[in-house]
């Protein structure tokens, strides 16, 4: 049975999934991983979604305020054995719903060019590619997206 919970970054299942995510990103991003890691700290994130298959955590994502009208989608991850089953879309939809409930106007996010599955997810979810923002400006490997809620 698939279920979704809203929690925060103190959730231990979220922390374990993020460790798996960071391990995978270190392999994909190689020498660039340290640059991205500095922007992906999970302390004090108030809005986290974890998806469970029965009692097993299989995916996660988070949002944090970027500006007064926008949330940034962070730490999206689905365990390898659960990919291709709509888990990431479930997480993203729940994060967008939560951001809208909190009266934010849009969601922004950054992903890497070496993550084609993530790019496909965001395009399928009606995110638009935008110029790289903030710390990602001028970063060749980064692709930034925006979706109005």
* pLDDT tens for each residue of 26-72: 887 666 655 555 555 666 799 999 999 999 999 999 999 999 999 99
- Residue 116 pLDDT more than 70? yes
Question: Residue 109 and residue 107: Cα distance in Å, rounded?
Answer: 7
Question: Residue 73 and residue 99: Cα distance in Å, rounded?
Answer: 10
Q: What is the mean pLDDT of residues 110-116?
A: 92
* pLDDT tens for each residue of 86-102: 999 999 999 999 999 99
* pLDDT tens for each residue of 135-147: 899 988 899 999 9
Domains and their CATH numbers in the chain: 2-148 (3.40.630.30)
Q: What is the mean pLDDT of residues 11-27?
A: 91
Report how far apart the first and last C-alpha atoms of the chain are (Å, whole number). Answer: 29
Q: At what angle do helices 87-101 and 116-124 cross, to 10 degrees?
A: 50
């Amino acid at each position: 049975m698939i279920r979704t919970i809203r929690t925060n970054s103190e959730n231990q299942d979220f922390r374990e999934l993020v460790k798996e995510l960071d391990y995978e990103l270190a392999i994909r991003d190689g020498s660039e991983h340290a640059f991205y890691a500095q922007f992906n700290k999970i302390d004090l994130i108030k809005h986290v979604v974890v998806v469970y298959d029965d009692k097993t955590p299989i995916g996660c994502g988070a949002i944090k305020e970027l500006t007064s009208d926008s949330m940034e989608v962070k730490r999206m991850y689905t365990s390898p054995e659960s990919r291709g089953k709509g888990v990431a879309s479930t997480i993203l939809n729940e994060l967008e719903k939560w951001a809208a409930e909190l009266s934010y106007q849009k969601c922004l996010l950054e992903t890497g060019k070496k993550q084609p599955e993530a790019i496909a997810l965001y395009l399928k979810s009606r995110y638009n590619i935008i110029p790289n923002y903030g710390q990602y400006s001028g970063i060749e490997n980064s692709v930034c997206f925006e979706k109005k809620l």
